[in-house]
Structure 1
Amino acid sequence: MLGLMQSSPFKVSHFPFWAAYLVVVLGSVDSYTAHSIWDIERWKSFNVDSAAKCFMTSWMISSYMDNSRTAILCAKNFKLISDYMSAEHQRNGSSDTNPFTMLRCKYLVIVVDEAKEHSLCSSENCQKLSEKGEVITVEKVWNCKGMLLSESGGDRDGRLKDLCLFFSLFQFICLRFVGYSLPQEAHKKLWRLIEHMLFEEKGYERVFRVIKVELVFLFDLLFTKYPVNLNPHRSRYRLLQLAIVVGAALISFYYLESPSTRGCGCFNSPLIQGGNLSVPALATVLLMMSILLVELAQFVIMIFSEWAKAIHICKYVQDERCRKNRYAEKLIEIMCRVRLLKPWGRQLRQYSLLKLYNYSPWKCTNNRLTAAYVDPKRNGQDQIAPTNLSEQVIKAIAQSLMMNGTSNLKKGQASLRLNDMFNQLSWACCHETTTHVIMVWHVATTFCEHEAPLRGTQLSKEPGEHFGIATKLLKYLAYLVAFTPRLLPDHPYRTQYIFRSAVSEARGLFKESSVSMDKRIEMLKGIDVEQCQENIVLQGAKPGRQFASVAANEEQIWKVLADFWVEMMLYVAPSNAAAAHADYLPPGGEFVTHVWVLVSHVDIKKEPHDGERHDDSKRN
């Protein structure tokens, strides 16, 4: 009941009193009844219980009030971003941002005074907050005259300014979690800014670096306490806590080692034996030192986090005294130059149906007993070695987005039109669900990948650019089907059903588990696919065969396939499953989440087709 009060979508001012009632009355039913004669003798424990319940009642009320206030302020922070951007659009119209000077870039980085949030209701109030310096925008960071942010001083490569831009854009992603939105014109201006980045030399690398740091901020917000501990008021208590832990460790170590205490009764035995630390004393020292090391490690990680860097840069922009203090300036510069390891390793996890359909999970770890504690593996659900995300892949996705957007993407049909193969192969894109299309083209591309060396086109030279793009993305999207169905447009249960069907069909087709890959391809060549329209594996073999007859040469085959898989990557990315993407951040995140952030900034949406959904079933 206490949990329901705290997570309730509506708030009642009497909730804290009801919580106190539950703790005091329902939690004190044993105050008047003795269950045995020995209970009468426990009058001291009754006093302890009463004191503990009084403390718990007070804690419950304060905890509930703090949690409610925090949740409301969190929503207000995101509401402020939405209101501020709407007001700025009304005041400045559709004027573009200069990508070099960030002139007229009013994206919010940090709100200095949270008490002023309620005053932001119009463009006039927005202007007042900006003039008073109560909000830090990207434009202010770029126009800061301090040496720390100058090209000739501490920011020669522009990383510190970019960090504030990344922090501002990350807050736009947060709007997806609370249901707020930005004006359409704001998204258009953001897209024009991204376009300017893409036109730079290797601009696609910068754009995906922006997204990487945005997801780092999102991870810090959802899975760490940095936003709370780095609050100006909270950070003081955090420093005090660290000082107490350090002091307690030093005092304990001093008393255990000091000769003057070895004669005391409390340290004579068994802590000190023969002038040396005993086992209990050594264990105490190790425990205190481990606590100290953990606290220091957490503190160091926190102060060198991207979140802390953004906050200190904004303080530097706001406070003129900080800009004139060379020691403070140098300290921030050193802190910002330290780079911590991030969970995202630029890897694409891979899966191949024709290679792994015969995989069977080990029964000792996948049975009815273990299913109650861990998600069991299914037949055919195994991974092959991951591959590195290549520069060619992200370049191809950026170019496709600039060329077509996603307004005309229909499960790969746009790429076929682009390569004049729509009439011959469009049927393979017209399946009921996106999962069907992915698995059919997965088999078709695997078929072509195996046939390429046989034709001698890939033996004498390194795989071409299109070949690498197609083979990496085909296995990555198949991995999403097999392991992360919540990140795809179709309902997760339907995706899992289609995957199980494909594995079952492959097992029925290739009856012997020891059949080699060459033999499997030969079997696909010899089967009349027209008679098996419901079989996903055979449906995939049909376009694989067609490529040999309709494509002019090997290079054209892989260009068509590369364009198709790039389009499918963009097609599956737009969704409202923000919670699903967040769930995969702790283990390192997925590449599809990076693409989702990119299309979210541009406000690209895709209407759900039959069998597809855009909400997260886990939240439902």
Structure 2
Amino acid sequence: MEGYKYLVIGEEQQAEPEPPSYEPKLRNDAAVTTVEDVWRCNGKLFKGSSRGRYRDMCLSFALFKLIKRRFVGPTIDQLLEKFKLSENDVLILYVFNRFDGYPQVEDESKSRALVRDGLLSEDDDGKRAFEVIKSELGFLRDLFHTKYPVASNPWILICNFVLFATIAMALWIAMTVDRKTNAEHPITKVLVSLLILAEMWEFISYLFSDWGKVILICKYVKNCGPAFDRYHVDKILRVILWRNLSCRSLYEKLEQFSLLNSLKSCCTCSRCCYLLACRLPGTSRKLNQRLRKEKPIRLKAEVKKAIFLSLKKLLASESVVLTNGITTLAELGHDKQLGWACGVGDHAHADEHTHMHTIMIWHIATAFCEMKLPPKNKKGEGLCREIESRAAVAISLSKYCAYLVVFAPQFLPIHSHSSKIMFKQMFDEACTACSGRICRKITYDNMVKIKFKDSDATIISKGVKLGKQLMNLVKEDAKRWELLERFWAELILFLAPSEHAMAHASKLEEGGEFITQLWALLYHARVEKRFLEKKEHAGEHV
């Protein structure tokens, strides 16, 4: 981390406006702790097996200070353009409001190198990168939903302690002066005792929180020396850093939605619900309630590994541009035959093809291929481990992206009006695909019968066409599921960048979405440019 002067703590005391611009500047002196300082420290605290975890906690806090600028003030690109900063600058902008600082602004190549050569350099399939991002988002959640950002100010702690001690002393003196028997004295003693316990618990919970740990680590970094080793300060800190009494971990599950498995109600009723939603104000929200979500699944390490490999390949390329799966198809030699499903090629109808079309067409095609997988028997046999792993990744990401389209479009670069149109197509096409009056689970035979008409193609017919092409072009199951796994890993990275930062922050209190982790990771890598970017600015989502 040599040269990365990302700010961890110390900026609130050193902001000094200077002429001619009178912009607050910060000099890298003894009161400031940067990521570089933490990595340079060779104290005993950083010589154990947990040294990486302690340093990564400070890195997460520094990255948190960077990403919270998405919620107020200018973006990195705007600052670079305004101040003409280079990677060697130590200038740190400070905004005098509730937000307490801004890390050193680096150029694009160095910020990208931090993710590529730092977070993604470990041979752990992205485990460290996602842990750092999860810790960072934990700080972001605390910023909006807890008291720790306020309590981290030492003056607040001092004032709180003085106020508490003054009240407790005044009550005790009052009881001592009034020596007469008074029935209220025991009650007062109980209340004072409860107040003391509450204050002690608040202090201990803060001390053992990630906010308190970062401050303790930074104090250790700045004051590390022989005296610390003599009094075994590192051992005391290890006890405090070992346990977290107050932090709630982020949601480590993937929400799931399958279009083909969700509709089990009457087709006529579904059409009526859609017509009602179109005509009555305020009833459009009820429409997606008829689409049944599946049970969330655990976020597996295989999913993180697939995204880790896709992102690492992206950052290693000369032109770092997000693509919607077409790069994977090109690498495997299927871009000419299957590119239309990504809005690329002569038969793509690019003017009508949106990001939502790409998601749902490939979602249906993935479900089509899933139906041909042999069922697992009671002994756990049926698929080789490689195919099973790749299929699980592709299917889970496919259903997660479909869930985002239907239930959380605010995280995607799509428009609310497109969502309503997609709902209509979902209901109408599902009813057409089902035989009889009552909808049943759509089977492989039902889907094979669906015919594709280029002049009037529907989402389901396009998905079935793509599924048939996949079955015919890639006959080996292992290669077919490798294609789908790599495609969905690439597509979800393509969808992750978002201008709606508050949508991500508001969801953190409930545990957050997995796409929020990807959004933060790409933000720090300075990767936000999409290939074939479409004008699909999100409006008021349903």
Per the alignment, do residues 542 and 328 of structure 1 end up closer, same or farther by CA in structure 2, a change over 3 Å counting? same
Give 1:439 deviation, angstroms: 1.0
1:90-129 aligned within 5 A: 102-119=1-18, 129=27
Q: Which residue of 2 is the match for residue 391 of structure 1?
A: 301
The one-letter amino acid of 1:193's match is L
**Structure-2 residue corresponding to 1:90:** none
Letter matched to residue 181 of structure 1:
I
Question: 1:304 and 2:208 equivalent?
Answer: yes
Asked if 2 retains the 8 angstrom alpha-carbon contact of 1:447 and 1:541, the reply is yes
Secondary structure at the aligned position of 2:536 is classed as coil
Contact 2:321-2:529 within 8 A present in 1 as well: no
Equivalent pair of 1:211/1:597 in contact (CA under 8 Å)? yes
Q: For 2:419 and 2:192, how far apart are their aligned partners in 1? A: 51
Does 1:445 pair with 2:366?
Answer: yes
Distance of aligned partners of 1:553 and 1:165 in 2 relative to their CA distance in 1, 3 Å threshold: same
C-alpha displacement of 1:467: 0.8
1:135 matches 2:29: no
In the alignment, structure 1 residue 464 sits paired with structure 2 residue 388: yes
Provide the residue aligned with 2:471 in structure 1.
Answer: 548
Does the 8 Å contact 2:321/2:527 carry over to 1?
no
Q: CA separation of 1:159/1:411 partners in 2, compared to 1, >3 Å: closer, same or farther? A: closer
Residue 58 of structure 1: aligned partner: none
Distance (whole Å) between structure 2 residues aligned to residue 227 and residue 211 of structure 1: 18
Which residue does 1:485 correspond to in 2? Answer: 409
Deviation at 1:479, TM superposition (A): 0.9
| Letter aligned with residue 394 of structure 2 | A
Name the CA distance, whole Å, in 1 between partners of 2:359 and 2:483: 15
Q: Distance in 2 between matches of 1:381 and 1:287?
A: 52
Change (3 A) 1:474 1:113: closer
Q: Deviations for 1:200-243, whole angstroms, at most 9, x for unmatched residues?
A: 22151111111111111111222222122110111112334555
Distance 1:511 1:203 in 2: 45
Cα contact 2:328–2:483 (8 A) shared by 1: yes
Q: Highest CA radius of gyration, 1 or 2?
A: 1
SS of residue matched to 2:9: strand
AA matched with 1:317: V
- Among residues 135, 139, 162, which one is paired with 2:56 in the alignment? 162
Could you tell me which of 484, 490, 499 is aligned with 1:561? 484
Residue 486 of structure 1 deviates from its aligned partner by 0.4
Determine helix, strand or coil for the equivalent of 2:255: strand
C-alpha contact (below 8 Å) 2:44/2:229 kept by paired residues: no
CA distance in 2, matches of 1:323, 1:571: 48
Distance 1:557 1:569, change over 3 A: same
Match of 2:458 in 1: 535
Q: What TM-score comes out, normalization by structure 2 length?
A: 0.77
Q: Residue 494 in 1 paired to residue 418 in 2?
A: yes
Equivalent residue for 1:40? none
Cα–Cα, structure 1 residues 120 and 535, in superposed 2: closer, same or farther, change >3 Å?
farther
Aligned-residue Cα RMSD (Å) equals 4.0
Q: Provide the secondary structure at the position in 1 that maps to 2:446.
A: helix
For the residues of structure 1 that align with 2:340 and 2:210, how far apart are their CA atoms? 48
Aligned ranges 1:154-193 → 2 under 5 Å = 156-178=50-72, 179-181=74-76, 183=80, 186=106, 187-193=108-114
Is structure 2 residue 132 aligned with structure 1 residue 210? Answer: yes
Higher relative contact order (CA 8 A, sep 6+): 2
CA contact (8 A) 1:304 1:336 kept: yes
Once residues 422 and 167 of structure 2 are traced to their aligned partners in structure 1, the CA distance between those partners, rounded to angstroms, is 55
- 1:238-280 per-residue CA deviation (whole Å, 9 max, x = no partner) reads 334555787899999x99xxx9846x5x79xxxxxxxxx9xxx
> Shift in Å at residue 354 of structure 1?
0.7
Which of 222, 238, 244 is the matching residue for 1:333? Answer: 238
Structure 1: gaps (5+ residues): 1-101, 268-276, 362-366
Match of 2:325 in 1: 412
Q: Contact 2:2 / 2:36 at 8 angstroms: preserved in 1? A: yes
The SS at the match of 1:452 is: coil
Counterpart code for 1:398? F
Could you tell me whether the CA contact under 8 Å between 1:113 and 1:134 is conserved in 2? no
Distance in 2 between the 1:500 and 1:192 partners?
45
Supply the AA of the counterpart residue of 1:316. Answer: Y
- The whole-number CA distance in structure 2 between the counterparts of 1:313 and 1:455 is 50
2:413 & 2:192 partners in 1: Cα distance?
Answer: 51
Q: Which amino acid aligns with 1:426?
A: G
Change (3 A) 1:113 1:470: closer
**Secondary structure of residue in 2 paired with 1:568:** helix
* Residues 434 and 440, structure 2, Cα contact 8 Å, conserved in 1: no
- In the TM superposition, what are the counterparts of 1:208-607 in structure 2 within 5 Å? 208-240=130-162, 261=181, 297-319=201-223, 323=228, 326=231, 329-340=234-245, 341-358=247-264, 376=286, 378-405=288-315, 407-430=320-343, 432-453=353-374, 459-462=382-385, 464-510=388-434, 515-517=439-441, 520-530=443-453, 533-607=456-530
Q: Secondary structure at the match of 2:51?
A: coil
Cα pair 1:491 1:612 within 8 Å, conserved: yes
Assess if the C-alpha contact under 8 Å between 1:245 and 1:292 holds in 2: no
Shift of 1:191: 2.3
Deviations 1:157-203 (A, max 9, x none): 32222211221122221222222316586332232232234232215
Indicate conservation of the 8 Å contact 1:440/1:536, yes or no.
yes
Q: 1:469 to 1:203 in 2, by over 3 A?
A: closer
Aligned to 1:5: none
Q: Which residue identity is paired with 2:6?
A: Y
SS in 1 for 2:508: coil
Distance 1:121 1:212 in 2: 40
Distance 1:530 1:486 in 2: 32
The residue type equivalent to 1:524 in the other structure is M
| 2:250/2:512 contact within 8 Å kept | yes
Q: Is the 8 A contact 1:408 1:414 kept in 2?
A: no
Quote how far apart the aligned CAs of 1:500 are: 4.5
Q: Is the 8 A contact 2:61 2:136 kept in 1?
A: yes
- More divergent stretch after superposition (390-399 vs 450-459): 450-459
Structure with the bigger percentage of helix = 1
Q: Quick check: 380-389 or 406-415, which moved more?
A: 406-415
Report the alpha carbon displacement of residue 320 of structure 1 after superposing the two structures with TM: 6.0
The verdict on how the C-alpha distance between 1:217 and 1:379 changes in structure 2, with shifts beyond 3 A counting, is closer
Summarize the Cα distance change of 1:329–1:551 in structure 2 as closer, same or farther, 3 Å threshold: closer
Aligned sequence identity (%):
32
Residue matched to 1:612:
536
Q: Deviation per CA, 1:328-347, whole angstroms, max 9, x where unpaired?
A: 65443322221345331321
Q: Aligned with 1:209: secondary structure? A: helix
**Aligned letter for 2:122?**
E
Count of aligned positions? 483
Instruction: Tell me the CA shift for residue 352 of structure 1.
Output: 0.7
* Residues 5, 36 of structure 2: 8 Å contact kept: yes
Tell me how far 1:530 sits from its aligned partner.
2.0
Alpha-carbon distance, 1:316 to partner: 2.6
Q: Is the 8 Å Cα contact of residues 435 and 490 (structure 1) preserved in structure 2?
A: yes
Change (3 A) 1:287 1:395: same
Aligned to 2:95: none
The CA deviation string for residues 30-51 of structure 1, in whole angstroms up to 9 with x for no partner, is xxxxxxxxxxxxxxxxxxxxxx
Deviations 1:499-523 (A, max 9, x none): 3432343134326575543x53312
SS at match of 1:129: coil
